[in-house]
Amino acid sequence: MLKKSFLFFLAVCSLQLLSAQENVLKSFPKGSTPKEVGKRLADHFVGSRHDLYFGQWVHYASVCSWNGAIDYALKVNDKKLIKQLENKFEPFFTYEKALLPPMNHVDYNMFGSLALKLYQINKDERYKELGLQYADTQWEVPANAKAEEKAWAEKGHSWQTRLWIDDMYMITVVQGEAYKVTGDKKYLDRAAKEMVMYLDELQRPNGLFYHAPDVPYYWARGDGWMAVGMPDLMRMMPEDHPDRPRIMEGYLKMMKSLKEHQQPSGMWNQLIDEPTFWAETSGTAMFTYAFIVGVQEGWLDAAEYAPAARKAWLAMIPFIDERNNVTEVCIGTGKKNDKQYYYDRPRNPGDLHGQAPYLWCAAALLGK
């Protein structure tokens, strides 16, 4: 009888502990709830002008923010916001058509993910057709392709492959949305094959990623694209997909290292392993998102990673200013083998590289 009572007591304690761990990512102080923060940032994005490459084409950071605002709007069932986000896109079919990025570069093709995401809401065939053009041209080798680009294609990869650390997100997000829309396994297999190759080529023994093979620095936002791309892709993959174990291995290895490098404040620094560098918001938000998804999916130990994700989220909020701009966002950054270069990078309030992952976190915290 005593043994049964003890076992019952342990079961109750375990349930209470599990419930407490789940609540860690569900209950936040007023002003810091994902619904409040997401609303501030999504409304700010809707009312903003397009962020353009060279004043010509929609920038991928704008696409990322747009996708995040859509995810948030769907989670809270804000029909007005959803319509506003669709209305912001509609002119691309008419008088803003010239702003559509060309289909000839990994960063430009990423635009297709937005059209495909909106198609899943409005079922307008124009959105599907446009989005699939961007997805398919990532694999359709142009006649004027360089020898290196053709070589990647011959191996079954996108001709737009560069082995830059952000590509693991830019390529896989478009192929992933195409898979959701069509159910065609070729899109999922493309994304998975690309992801595995990037992991094999770029991940370091400690689980993190250099900005480039010849630049041995762990730049936060660069690693952030990896941290977000892996769980987003795995969420779509069936358990028996042959590439899933390799991606899971890379993801868990990275998450362990990120947990070890989280600063006492809850943030991550501009260079992840440099404690004297400044706290950078876009990378922090990306890592936080990766933790949140991992806990929700049961891939990460909730007792260890849920408090870390909560600490990071609460640390992130004060970096949103009174104009609803995320501050301390490192601007777009090319590689350079110079540590001081990373420390000296300008920081732009409202830079969409930061607005986007904040929105991803807000949407993720609102539940699966």
Annotated binding site for substrate: 166
CB 261 within 8 A of CB 273: yes
Q: Among candidates 367, 368, 259, which has minimal Cα distance to 27? A: 367
Residues 365, 34 contacting (CB under 8 angstroms):
yes
Distance CA 23, CA 53 (A): 41
Neighbour-count burial for 145-163, b at 16+ CB within 10 Å, e otherwise = beeebeebbeeebbbbbbe
Q: Which of 20, 26, 23 is nearest to 365 (CA)?
A: 26
DSSP per residue, 22-61:
HHTTT---TT-SHHHHHHHHHHHHHTSPPPEETTTEE-HH
- Rounded Cα gap, residues 283 and 64, in angstroms: 14
From CA 367, how far away is CA 361, in angstroms rounded? Answer: 10
Amino acid at 307: P
Binding site, annotated residues = 166
Burial 27-47 (b: 16+ CB within 10 A, else e): ebeeeebbeebbbbbbebbbe
Helix (H, G, I), strand (E, B) or coil at 273: coil
Tell me how far apart the alpha carbons of residues 238 and 249 are, in angstroms, rounded to a whole number.
16
Contact yes or no for 258/308 (Cβ under 8 A) = no
d(CA 350, CA 44) in angstroms, rounded, equals 10
Check if the beta carbon of residue 270 is closer than 8 Å to that of residue 342: yes
201 residue type, one letter: E
Instruction: Find, among 165, 156, 227, the residue nearest to 202 by Cα.
Output: 165
